[in-house]
Structure 1
């Protein structure tokens, strides 16, 4: 599909969104579709800068922004795998609305994953093997706690990595993605504890260091994020030039 066709399709979607009455769930569906559309437009920017992997497992080479994009790709693979598993067999205690929301989030994370895969092309790391053995997928509280951890960590990861992105198109795309991730985090936190819609920094609420007095969300460097996310990944992740 040509870029002008994509732009026309995007405009039609935007007009449909603003000219109709939509609920929260419908908005999330539009957000996920938009992320997928961005992928096709941005894929032509820098997709042929391959990173040779000379180690066993997946190598994240932070010598340039390709490493940052692969870092985001790794995290989106993890989140997509988690939500696909939840959506395929949600806990019995989930309400109908919760099942629907988790279906929506599943599609968003898949769109995010495919965005980075398409942009990176031959420079993309391989598919990661996940390990969710520590999560009880039959327990609503267990699934919600895991979802909160993934979403809060994802927001902090994007915030902490933004400074390493040098291409404007990628920075804009990352900003659009992290805003959707933050909406996920707010929704899930509100289910767990009404009113705790953001990472307010307090340990009892699972905070990651946000500064609520200044209205700033958390930002974590890749080494801290990977140390936390690593327990859910079987594939060895090698980090160089960080």
Structure 2
């Protein structure tokens, strides 16, 4: 038995193999050897590009909700808020699960709010605190070079709480600074069960941030958060439940 190999434009003939009469396509040519040298095995010709293209999934849509923050007038503040929300959905998630005993002074609607609006409150209170700490200046350095960034964090404190930002330069990055602050507050607020005061003594955020220990500043910050939409008492914002499909529509879908 003879076989023809197509090499470039030439034909090579070899015994012991079978060949089809049709010329090969643009893809590679596969020749199968017959077991008894009497069967005629066809050359299998593939088509170039017959593999389906890999589909790259689209990233999930970004939640457009941005709560009111006291730094909204600053350039790039939207990124600060989004970065802080990411931390509140991650390592600082326990904050939204906690019901501080003094929360009614800060956010009357907090107890009835869903987690999304509870996280909005923590964005608000941190933005109010940052106004007193740094005047919303990410590059601020205070205490003779000891405290850095929006919420004036000491590098040693950041390292002690396991923050990603561990030095002054990193803490002057606004998103890293806020993420670190959220991590610290998630520990102290849940430990003390308070935003700033517990049984008349400083607790929660006031354990690490001076403005929270001063009654005038504390009252000013609480007055601002109470005025925000996510702290106003009213109906809880929930997504409407979809209406049930008519039975005939359900039957048609099931039959497909």
Query: More strand by proportion, 1 or 2?
Result: 2
Name the TM-score, length of structure 1 as normaliser: 0.24
Higher Cα Rg, which structure: 2
Choose between structure 1 and 2: higher helix proportion: 1
Greater RCO structure (CA 8 Å; 6+ sep)? 1
Name the TM-score, length of structure 2 as normaliser. 0.23
